[in-house]
Structures are given as C-alpha cells and as structure tokens.
C-alpha cells in the first residue's frame, strides 16, 4: 500500500489549520514545516481568481505515530472544511475518478510543491497560465 493525500482545492479556505496541526503534532521548531498552505491569484484586471493549495513537504511521515492512535494524520483530522483525505493513493484516485484532478500536482505553479503522493481536485482558474504567487 502506498499512502498519499487527496486535496480538494474547491473546499480549501486557506485557514492554515492543517499546517498548524502538523507543526503541533511533530513539535517542529520555528521555520520548519512538513505541511504548507500557499495561495495563488490568477486572472487579470478586475477579475482576479484565487485558489489555495495545502501540500506535504519533505519530512512528512503521514503522522505514522499519530495514525496508530487516531487513524488519520493531524492535518486531515484538523481541517474544518474536510479538504484533505488520507489513504492508499490508488484507492483515493479511484474514489475521486471523474473529478477534475491534477494527479502529481501539475496545476501547482511551483515544482517545489509537487508531490508524487498527492492528487488534487482543481478549480477552473488553476489552469490559467497567467498567475501571480501570493505569499500567505
């Protein structure tokens, strides 16, 4: 079984609760994150469109110790919008087949955010090549 995350960009409100829960679960020092939430702006002129992305980064172990007790990683358990799911990556792909998915993260404008154990339901605006990164 290969574990991974499903992320629903339609549901994410960029509250950073998943990022904080991860940081707390691992007691990480300032400046170190295993999960990061980033916001991006697309569009032009008076019609900007926003989307958010929550991705695991190097160091993420899917909360192996926490999962034994709670059955899901801290980031997934904490998300108030239920924008994150965790499980076998192939089962997640099958469960969300038919949705507009970016498998392996090609819709994310920064290759450093790409993660092979990550599938994402994308918003229409994520296909817009004219984006500006927002530092949130």
Query: One digit per residue, pLDDT tens: the chain, 136 residues?
Result: 788 888 988 899 999 999 999 999 999 999 999 998 988 777 777 877 778 888 888 888 888 876 666 578 999 999 999 999 998 888 998 998 888 776 544 455 455 555 667 777 766 555 555 544 544 4
Q: Domains along the chain?
A: 3-134 (3.30.70.20)
- Which residue in 131, 133, 122, 126 sits closest to 7, CA to CA? 122
* Burial annotation 91-106 (CB, 10 A radius, 16+ → b, else e): ebeeebeeeebbeebe
- Which residue in 22, 118, 37 sits closest to 77, CA to CA? 22
Q: What global pTM score does this model have?
A: 0.78
Say if CB 43 and CB 49 are below 8 A apart.
Answer: yes
């Amino acid at each position: 079984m290969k574990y991974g995350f499903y992320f629903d960009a339609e549901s994410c409100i960029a509250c950073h609760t998943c990022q904080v829960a991860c940081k707390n679960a691992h007691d990480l020092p300032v400046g170190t994150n295993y999960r990061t939430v980033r916001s991006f702006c697309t569009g032009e002129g008076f019609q900007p469109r926003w989307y958010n992305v929550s991705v695991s980064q190097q160091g993420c172990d899917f909360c192996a110790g926490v999962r034994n007790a709670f059955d899901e990683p801290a980031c997934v358990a904490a998300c108030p919008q239920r924008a994150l799911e965790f499980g076998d990556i192939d089962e997640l792909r099958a469960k969300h087949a038919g949705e507009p998915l970016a498998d392996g993260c090609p819709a994310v404008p920064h290759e450093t955010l790409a993660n092979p154990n990550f599938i994402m339901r994308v918003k229409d605006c994520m296909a817009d090549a004219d984006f500006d990164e927002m530092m949130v």
